[in-house]
Structure 1
């Protein structure tokens, strides 16, 4: 048994949640992966995974083994990567998933700089606001805003964006300009951004002098994709709350008007997220470093 290969195979099953997805991501037959994990269990003399026809569950011994070997794999991958980075230029294909408005207004306008620096790296962009499974979807990293809720992933902070509440001049002329957040509950039409994951409307958030307010009312229209959400606001369908980098041009030419300026919510954090315990290739490392350098200026409109 190749113990290192077996440890990596076991870790991938734990991270993927089942043998099929793990085998696909490793480009390994399912039967070979299962046999490799069984040989590791025989070598250790413990059951690492509890298998049924429907699911795979990690045993307490499996959890302990995974946590201890994860540190070893990370250290080994860091050593390999450092040597490879010295000997070669970053090259190959990167698969990146990013939300619609972030792709259009932040990432894509800046990519010419990245591609000039690293001409041997190719990029596949998956543009969608829907969450992806990095392992089963074979994605190297995702760029996402908001709080993080998956501790099995590695996240690196890359900057924050400003949320703006706004509407068209025609809408404000017809329905009036609210002076306080609570006025949104009285006769105003809201265009809500719907979670692509569960379909729920994100509340309109406001903050002033340390006090926080959330407005949760029935929306006139809900949209689960960021570019379409902005389009609904631009069409005068109601008040929207969206990122400043998406509407800076519209604000400058007067197509949209910011309201409730004294109630702007706290900055919205963005992270680049990638799986842990996987080999982090040189091309992904330089892309992440480039994001950390470039992203804050782009989201702030500088």
Structure 2
């Protein structure tokens, strides 16, 4: 397979058209069109559907783009490293991270990484949805308790757990009457939270009075004494130590595991490897206490 033709195909696919690719690369449009046509002829496949106004990848073209885009990027990176006489990470690194981790830790992590690796152009976006890494050109995603995906590999770099907390003046009554609660997202009007305390398992009847979309907002609202809340221990450990909140029990909920995920492939880019190592250095043991201490720095 002609690697130059394959590179031109990737250029056109990435920019969504011959004209846009030509302007971006400063290459003649006719040359790009001829190279892609030669590649199609060599493979005996149509890679693009050519309409009057739009150019669209065929199913075969999309599969080829998804399988070769990262490989070509790694080849360019390797060639640049060899030419410069070193192996320092360089180029663009796109990361998707969940909302809470982004709000509390990602800014400081990203800044520290950028200072250590100035030749890497780090781009971080915040979203809780499961992004399509190939389609949306992400190099690495951070996710909480992700569903298994055969196309991704990765590692857990942090663990956390949920606890039920309240302001010092708000303590559940012995008669089991519902207590006001601050929740994330929609909730039933009345319910119960299972908890584990020093004396065993128990239930807290709750009546949601406020629904918020961010756990940082939930914590801030719970601090006012409005209601109880279920929050990660790393987010409230300092408040518990200072007496601003009291610990009512550990929530009966799955462990929170933060994963760093990347597409399955034999060769991992130097940029992704460097960021994974940076996460490991920031959280050597991956415990909630480490994360809490990092947030207080």
- Residue aligned with 2:155, SS: strand
Q: TM-score, normalised by structure 2?
A: 0.63
Shift of 1:240: 1.9
The equivalent of 1:16 in structure 2 is none
1:249 matched to 2:269: no
CA distance in 1, matches of 2:39, 2:205: 52
1:28 matched to 2:21: yes
Shift of 1:56: 6.5
CA distance in 2, matches of 1:138, 1:301: 33
Shift of 1:264: 4.5
Shift of 1:283: 2.6
Paired residues of 1:165 and 1:241 also in contact (CA < 8 A): yes
1:260 matched to 2:261: no
- CA-atom RMSD, angstroms? 5.2
Where does the alignment leave 5 or more consecutive residues of structure 1 unmatched? 14-18
- Residue aligned with 2:21, SS: coil
Q: Which has the larger radius of gyration?
A: 2
Shift of 1:250: 0.7
The equivalent of 2:95 in structure 1 is 96
The equivalent of 2:293 in structure 1 is none
**CA 1:110–1:66 in structure 2 vs 1: closer, same or farther (change >3 Å)?**
closer
The equivalent of 1:58 in structure 2 is 59
1:176 matched to 2:173: yes
Deviations 1:202-236 (A, max 9, x none): x998587xxx9999987432222232232222233
Paired residues of 2:160 and 2:255 also in contact (CA < 8 A): yes
Where does the alignment leave 5 or more consecutive residues of structure 2 unmatched? 24-28, 291-297
The equivalent of 2:226 in structure 1 is 237
Paired residues of 2:159 and 2:286 also in contact (CA < 8 A): no
The equivalent of 2:214 in structure 1 is 225
Deviations 1:163-213 (A, max 9, x none): 2221222232xx4379xxxx6xx623332223xxxx789x998587xxx99
Shift of 1:293: 3.6
The equivalent of 1:287 in structure 2 is 275
The equivalent of 1:167 in structure 2 is 166
- Residue aligned with 2:169, SS: helix
Which one of 162, 173, 180 corresponds to residue 189 of structure 1? 180
Deviations 1:232-264 (A, max 9, x none): 222333222221111111111121222233x54
Q: TM-score, normalised by structure 1?
A: 0.62
Deviations 1:139-168 (A, max 9, x none): 443322122365544443323212222122
Aligned 1:30-45 pairs, distance under 5 A: 40-45=39-44
**CA 1:92–1:35 in structure 2 vs 1: closer, same or farther (change >3 Å)?**
same
Paired residues of 1:93 and 1:121 also in contact (CA < 8 A): yes
- Residue aligned with 2:125, SS: strand
CA distance in 2, matches of 1:229, 1:2: 56
The alignment of Structure 1 onto Structure 2 pairs a total of residues equal to: 272
The equivalent of 1:2 in structure 2 is 2
Q: Which has the higher contact order (CA 8 A, sep 6+)?
A: 1
- Residue aligned with 1:273, SS: strand
Paired residues of 1:25 and 1:138 also in contact (CA < 8 A): no
**CA 1:232–1:129 in structure 2 vs 1: closer, same or farther (change >3 Å)?**
farther
